[in-house]
Amino acid sequence: MNKSEDVTSQRKKEHLELSLKADVSFKTKTNGFDQYEFIHNAATDVELDKISFETKFFKKKINYPFIISCMTGGTEEAENINAQLAIAAEDLKIPIGVGSQRQALENKNYKNSYNIIRKNAKSVPVLGNLGAAELVKLKSSDPIKMLIELIEADAFVIHLNPLQELLQPEGNPYFKGFLKSLKKLIKEIEIPVIVKEIGMGISKDVAKRMLEVGVKGIDVAGAGGTSWAAIEMLRNKSTTNDYFWDWGLPTSFCLRENSKLKKNYKFILIGSGGINSAVDAAKAFALGADYVASARTILKELDTSGVDGVKNLIIGWFETIRKIMFLTGSKSLKELRKNKIMRRELLY
């Protein structure tokens, strides 16, 4: 193994360890959902047992509009984690993302840590993943076609992570030419491309620029959940950049703003970043999300309670969402998205 391969794999391992063991949540900033309240409908006529969460994710049918967010791959520990997450995704019939496939561009050492997801999740949508900083370095789309093949991906996610690259000593905060590279990629691969952040949020202006070049999905991955600035600072044992721990646009703000783009663009809007409860998820839908996604909460649940724990957590969330839909008079998630939530300040 050469040095850069070692560094990538070691970094992935440290990310997993810190995500599970350290307190890496935002400190004072929240995902913003606490600022909202559902509008109680005393005259609801919704039939609880008629509510269905079945929908489509691009071409495939799924049972819940919930995605297990892109997390890991490219290190020994990732294989077992991905194997189990994939079983949960397949049993629940929900989409699942792999972590950054950068390591698979460097060598074949941990190929299994990625393709175990497709082996264990044969029928559900699987999302490939690579960072924008890596994309701009590629001269052709062939390496990405290889990554797509490795997991038979249904969609490919490009993650934007300027703050993370900035805080990593080995980081590469150079994104010049990104839009051009993205446009070329979209032209050259056959599956839809989704752009996501990793916890600092995507503004409406940025989303618009992505949609203009043909992106089919925006995953806001807003602030208020996992702080990647925190993870990188703890990795480096440095707090000189402490101000950035809480940097970013809250998830609720990103959803509210980006949902306005639906008038002019056809795309899927994914609400993520601190989706840690059924109420967070329900509020994300109410603010315009077509799907919700969670990362660290799912990883922690897997760690403490295994595959069944993850499955029960997600099923339980949707049972609560069903109750919220009943109480807000929403027969479908489409109805939940229509004026079923208000700012808390209007309550008093």
Ligand X SMILES: Cc1cc2nc3c(=O)[nH]c(=O)nc-3n(C[C@H](O)[C@H](O)[C@H](O)COP(=O)(O)O)c2cc1C
Instruction: Name the residue number minimizing CB distance to ligand X.
Output: 225
> Rounded to the nearest 5°, which phi and psi values hold at 85?
-60, -35
Contact (CB, 8 A) for 127 and 157: yes
Closest approach of ligand X to the CB of residue 160, in Å: 9
Stretch that binds ligand X, among 58-66, 172-180, 255-263, 273-281 (CB under 6 A): 273-281
Q: Which is nearer to ligand X, 24 or 46 (CB)?
A: 24
Closest approach of ligand X to the CB of residue 94, in Å: 15
Q: Does residue 199 bind ligand X (CB under 6 A)?
A: yes
- Selected binder of ligand X within 30, 103, 226, 259 (CB under 6 A): 226
Contact (CB, 8 A) for 208 and 174: no
Q: Does residue 70 bind ligand X (CB under 6 A)?
A: yes
Closest approach of ligand X to the CB of residue 129, in Å: 5
Closest approach of ligand X to the CB of residue 286, in Å: 18
Q: Which is nearer to ligand X, 219 or 257 (CB)?
A: 219
Token pair recorded at residue 28: 């004072």
Work out the number of other CB atoms within 10 angstroms of the CB of residue 301: 20
Q: Does residue 103 bind ligand X (CB under 6 A)?
A: no
Q: Does residue 11 bind ligand X (CB under 6 A)?
A: no
Q: Does residue 294 bind ligand X (CB under 6 A)?
A: yes
Q: Which is nearer to ligand X, 307 or 327 (CB)?
A: 307
What length is written for the chain?
A: 348
DSSP strands (E only) in the chain = 36-38, 55-57, 60-62, 66-68, 96-97, 126-131, 155-159, 193-196, 217-219, 268-272, 291-294, 341-343
Measured distance CA(156)–CA(185) in Å, rounded: 10
Residues 151-170 that bind ligand X (CB under 6 A): 157, 159
CA distances from 322 to 7, 36, 47, 93, 334 (A): 45, 18, 10, 18, 13
Q: Does residue 217 bind ligand X (CB under 6 A)?
A: no
> Rounded to the nearest 5°, which phi and psi values hold at 96?
-145, 140
Q: Does residue 273 bind ligand X (CB under 6 A)?
A: yes
3-class SS of residue 37:
strand
> Rounded to the nearest 5°, which phi and psi values hold at 241?
-105, 30
Q: Which is nearer to ligand X, 9 or 69 (CB)?
A: 69
Q: Does residue 16 bind ligand X (CB under 6 A)?
A: yes
Stretch that binds ligand X, among 3-11, 37-45, 147-155, 192-200 (CB under 6 A): 192-200
Q: Does residue 283 bind ligand X (CB under 6 A)?
A: no
> Rounded to the nearest 5°, which phi and psi values hold at 334?
-60, -45
Measured distance CA(69)–CA(82) in Å, rounded: 11
Q: Does residue 322 bind ligand X (CB under 6 A)?
A: no
Q: Does residue 196 bind ligand X (CB under 6 A)?
A: yes
Site residues, ligand X (CB under 6 A): 15-16, 19, 69-72, 99-100, 129, 157, 159, 196, 198-199, 221, 225-226, 272-275, 294-297, 299
